[in-house]
Structure 1
Amino acid sequence: MRRKLSWCLLTIAALLLPLLAVPPAAQARDDAPILDPIPDDPAPSGLGVVLQEVAQLPKSKPTGEPTDPRLLRWNRINHVGEVPDHSGRLYVPDLNGNLYLLDKKTRTPHVYLDVAATFAPDFFSQAGLGQGFGFVAFHPDFAKNGKFYTAHVEAGNALKTKTPDLTPQPKTGYHGVIDEWTANDPKAETFSGTHRELLRIGFAGRIHNLQQIDFNPNARPGDADYGKLYMSVGDGGNGNVGDNGGDPQNLGVPQGKILRIDPSGNDSANGKYGIPADNPFAGQAGKVGEIYAYGMRDPHRFSWDTGGTHRMFLAHIGEHEIESIHELYAGANIGWSEREGAFTFRKDDRCHLYPLPADDDKYKYEYPLAAYDHDPPPDWDCRSDTGHAISGGYVYRGAKLPALRGKYLFTDIVDGRLMYTEESEMKHDSTGTNRAQIYQMQAYDTSGKPVTMKELAGDERVDLRYGSDAKGEPYLLAKANGKIWKIVGTKRFASCKAGPARVGHAMDAKNWTPVTPSKWKFPGDQVVLAEAGEERPGPRRPFEYAVLNKGPALTSTRIDAKVRLDTPVSISNRDVIVIFGYQDDTHFYYTHLSSDNTIYPHNGIYLVNGADRLRIDRQWNANRSHGAPPSITDEAWHRVSVTHCAGTGETAVYVDGKSRPVFTAIDKTLGSGRVGFGSFDNIGRLRDLTVRGTPAK
């Protein structure tokens, strides 16, 4: 028997040995679909931006009758920048056809150039979210040479009479066209001059055509990059399957790439522009010499950091799940359509992403520096749009908003979230697992009222994008109502001044009113919940707590204290609560500090308003059933700070002196009340309590 057992143990050891020799990352790789590719959600930053409306652009409509309601907006403005001639004029392209200039002082818009009319009747904007007059880029020497460049889409007769310059996709249905314009007088308020076509590219689909075109703002006269025009070229909407499947990885075609050309040269195949000799594939047989970087689905926006090491960043719109930010350089390959973000994209499964293969290192893909996923609802039809798309964005290096300096600013086009990452944290990682944290910002109007971009745009679909002026100061613009806002300031979330009342030295039993006095101890320097509470009749709410009766009831409130969970870590779902706005046993707010973030009633901010507690914090992800990371996971003392602003309804909760809150919420249901401490069915204690606030009338 012993001999048989020894043989079994040796056999098991032999089987386990290869597994033990495999690195942990490789062990995790298998063929199972990944149901939640990026579990970490954008975190609250505790930072907000103050927005001032500066312009509303005129209504416009596509060239024909679109069947997609997403094209029926106030207009389709998609960028704002400053003309590089020191005039202070802003420019705004509208996909429906007009290029507007905005006066420096009044920001009144007027039509500078009607692109749609110039290329009628072939100009096309009635199908596809990016079709039409996509972008404009002014030459850095515009003030002298009057040159600027546009990207637009053509269909109709152009498909029969004009030929793409680079390999078109099979079944081409649209042409993306780059034109050079030369103004007779660069100072004029309306365009007068000439134009010539530089480049024409054929696309099969109505989406992911030409996107941004631009010049490197860091290049100076004499630099190799000065005057070189970069162009983001989508995959044509079908770059993963079908006749053009694999185009983004095919260096013989332009689709799914960033191209780089010299508008002043003439050594291209059509003789209308130059191919820079320092392009990574210039002069290589079978490869498009114009390619700068590749492996892209919808390379929506790119930018260069004007500080730091002048890196180039791309905001890339994903297919299934991943919205990502990448660093671009000559020859960079971000992986589409073999990869979406840092995950395997399989053409036989339209609904899921998969782990990377064990030999992934050999492909040298440039994985995201930062990314977030879509988190679709459980009943999501994977053939439909989840309503998420990233738009960069740039690293802010301006002078007027020091709180934003060094942050890469970007938005979600659809839902209007304002987000950022720290440029210093955006580092290359060949495994794609070490990404920079993404943070979400609050928006405020100039009165200090918290608002959402959906509210400012007046629509659930915002169609939001960033722009900037020559000094790098940021603007936001929305297709939903055609408005432009300038970011004129920053503001801390829940930054109200809580005072003048101050309550401290309140550890004596006489200062507290517990639900069940026998369960509490007051040793002099602490408030101790010594016995677990029990559920009581009425709405679902904390079982056991004590209310501070010292001092007045407060409106705006600041609570600073240290708390400890005495329930052993071996027990799950441990918690303590900090109460504010307490009016009676069924009307109060509380923040729940828990070791569990996977269930609705834990680890967040809640309102009890005559009914079961309602979660009001912004960190709960209902589709994935998780909230912010667990706020307390041990039995040590932890510093907690809670600020509630009665005027705005903002609440921010900080733990252990961190600069960013763990939870935030906005709710104005209860205008005033008292503070307290307790739990549901655990034990814990509080010390070093200080309460500041505005006395309620």
Structure 2
Amino acid sequence: MRPVVDGLTQPLLVTGAGDGSGRLFVVEQGGNIRVFAGGRLAPEPFLDISDLTEPGGEQGLLGLAFHPRFDANGRFFVNYTDTAGDTVVAEYRADPGAGVADPGSATTLLQIDQPFPNHNGGHLAFGPDGYLYVATGDGGSGGDPFNNGQSLDTLLGKLLRIDVDAAGGGLAYGIPPDNPFIDRDGARPEIWASGLRNPWRFSFDREAGDLWIGDVGQEELEEVNRVPAAKAGLDFGWDDLEGSDCYEPASGCDRNGVVLPVAQYTHDEGCSVTGGFVYRGSQYPELGGGYFFADYCSGSVYGIVAGSAGLTDPAPLLQSESSVSSWGEDDEGELYLVDIAGGRVLQLTAET
């Protein structure tokens, strides 16, 4: 790992904007988005919404995604918990190339009531199809007391897919016509996949188009799920299963129709998976095609072959001293690790 940025306050995410500028944008849990460019951290935040959120625990400013045409339209999207603890997905705008966004440009797309302060999910990203994907947790507490993961009438415990370029039907966004539950009575049409507990970071493989999700476990298992490109309507099993094991009941659960993890590890090794990326950069070709992820509690960094079949019991590649809150990808496909406790961002290298 090579240190790149330090001096941050509770960083949770790093990403490029896809605008060719080479800038890295870092999300701080307290409500700031910071810009790193030209070897320095800009003193003024790109966006400050600290008055809209009360950070702490699993709450705060949690996610950031730039529109695929950000270089032309200046649109970007954030996911945060508001002062009442509920999830908000909002759009903001910035002049192309500007160092500071317009805080008065906010448009709220989604507001989701959260029954408990934990399991907010919070990640969002644009897919290869141009739609915005939003990860939500199961609503929190423990054990999914309201069975949200398996209930299609709620947005909790899901991966959502919306069209931010075609608002309609009284909504600030559109529903893609091929969303899997768009015509099912009682189901929320925004849902793309279900059965998630607390998806903490997901990413798209920029070469294969597959979607990778790190889903935090309850008592025993941390899991990584893979969604083949454009595969809709998958159920990842929570709260019937934790990883590949039955959860409640502890045996005899029905695995029919459930997509099992491609990788999992026990709480003897860690306690909270942080989903990562498939490496498609050019600086370290020997890392190509590897999916890299980590555990927040142990600092272990894992890597598996993206095309491997079946369930993998991953072995740590290294033991870092970081509290890994996120992975990120720049415009060139190079990968970064975010250390929330150390207030820094590090680049993944072959010498790691």
Shorter chain as normaliser: what TM range? Answer: over 0.9
Residue 440 in structure 1 maps to residue 301 in structure 2? no
Which residues of 2 match residues 166-565 of structure 1 at below 5 A? 174-183=85-94, 185-192=95-102, 194-216=105-127, 219=128, 225-226=129-130, 228-238=131-141, 240-242=143-145, 244=146, 246-268=147-169, 270-307=170-207, 309-328=208-227, 329-346=231-248, 354-357=250-253, 360-361=254-255, 363-375=256-268, 388-425=271-308, 427=309, 434-442=310-318, 452-454=319-321, 457=322, 462-490=323-351
Partner AA of 1:180 in structure 2 = E
Residue 111 in structure 1 maps to residue 45 in structure 2? yes
Cα separation, 1, equivalents of 2:23 and 2:181? 38
Higher helix share: 1
Cα separation, 2, equivalents of 1:397 and 1:355? 40
Alpha-carbon deviations, 1:545-602, whole Å to 9, x = none? xxxxxxxxxxxxxxxxxxxxxxxxxxxxxxxxxxxxxxxxxxxxxxxxxxxxxxxxxx
Q: 1:196: Cα distance to partner?
A: 0.8
TM-score normalised to structure 2 length: 0.93
Q: Percent identity?
A: 31
Cα separation, 1, equivalents of 2:219 and 2:261? 15
Q: 1:234: Cα distance to partner?
A: 0.4
The size of the alignment, in residue pairs, is: 348
Residues 403, 490 of structure 1: 8 Å contact kept: no
Cα separation, 2, equivalents of 1:182 and 1:151? 15
Cα separation, 1, equivalents of 2:325 and 2:134? 21
Alpha-carbon deviations, 1:317-348, whole Å to 9, x = none? 1001111111233100011001111111126x
Which residues of 2 match residues 656-675 of structure 1 at below 5 A? none
Aligned to 1:94: 28
Structure 1: segments with no counterpart, 5+ residues: 1-50, 59-74, 157-173, 220-224, 348-353, 377-386, 428-433, 443-451, 492-697
Alpha-carbon deviations, 1:32-74, whole Å to 9, x = none? xxxxxxxxxxxxxxxxxxx22111134xxxxxxxxxxxxxxxx
**Equivalent residue in structure 2 for 1:125, among 55, 58, 64:** 55
Cα separation, 1, equivalents of 2:252 and 2:280? 36
Alpha-carbon deviations, 1:351-397, whole Å to 9, x = none? xxx3444xx35x31000111111128xxxxxxxxxx51111111112
Aligned to 2:10: 76
Computed over aligned residues only, the root mean square deviation of the Cα atoms, in angstroms, reads 1.9
Aligned to 2:73: 145
TM-score normalised to structure 1 length: 0.48
Q: 1:256: Cα distance to partner?
A: 0.2
Residues 198, 273 of structure 1: 8 Å contact kept: yes
Structure 2: segments with no counterpart, 5+ residues: none
Cα separation, 1, equivalents of 2:326 and 2:108? 28
Note closer, same or farther for the CA distance 1:288–1:265 as it changes in structure 2 (3 Å cut). same
Residues 314, 326 of structure 1: 8 Å contact kept: yes
**Higher RCO, Cα 8 Å, sep 6+:** 2
Cα separation, 2, equivalents of 1:346 and 1:301? 25
